[in-house]
Amino acid sequence: NSPRYEGQHRKSVQMFMREARSIAKLRHPNIVSVHQVFEENETAYMVLDLIHGRDLMDIIDDDDDSALLSPDQVREIVVKMLDAIDLVHRNDLLHRDISPDNILIDEFGEPILIDFGAAREQAANRSAALLTLRVIKDGYSPHEFYARGADQDTTSDLYVLAATLYHAISGERP
């Protein structure tokens, strides 16, 4: 609320709007859909699909043996996530926060990639302002997420997907 941060806040809102519009262009059955992006109350918002289901973390952590994922289910999730991430990358974006809690399994058993809050345009990712925006999840994040100014690219997203796969198969966080 401080006027001295008004310029930074405005830049953050503009960046959010630009990236939200980029994310809204992604049309894939395994990526949450963005229906509307707007500014109100001096901030910005995205209106997303409501997905009925559970996140992959809840399924992995469930003590009920009937909730365990079969090898075929894990393979199907990974194949669909790879296809979804490919679309993200072909649109010059990085998700940067793929993990079991950001993959929902809907009521039909389909995996849906959510939470693009850490997504960044790869071209803009090199800017000094964005270097301070780091999302780190211990056990999932690659080394470059921990190092200020380190290059992040498509392999960073593949690393976190592999860590998620490891957790889904072993039941243990990497």
- Rounded CA-CA distance 20/13 in Å is 10
55, 97, 115, 157: which is the annotated catalytic residue?
A: 97
Q: CA geometry: angle at 157 spanning 125 and 138, to 5°?
A: 95
Is 97 one of the catalytic residues?
yes
Tokens 């194949």 -> residue: 79
Nearest CA to 130 among 27, 48, 4, 11?
Answer: 11
Strands of the sheet with 53-55, listed across from one edge: 53-55, 103-106, 111-113
Q: Which residues does the annotation mark as catalytic?
A: 97
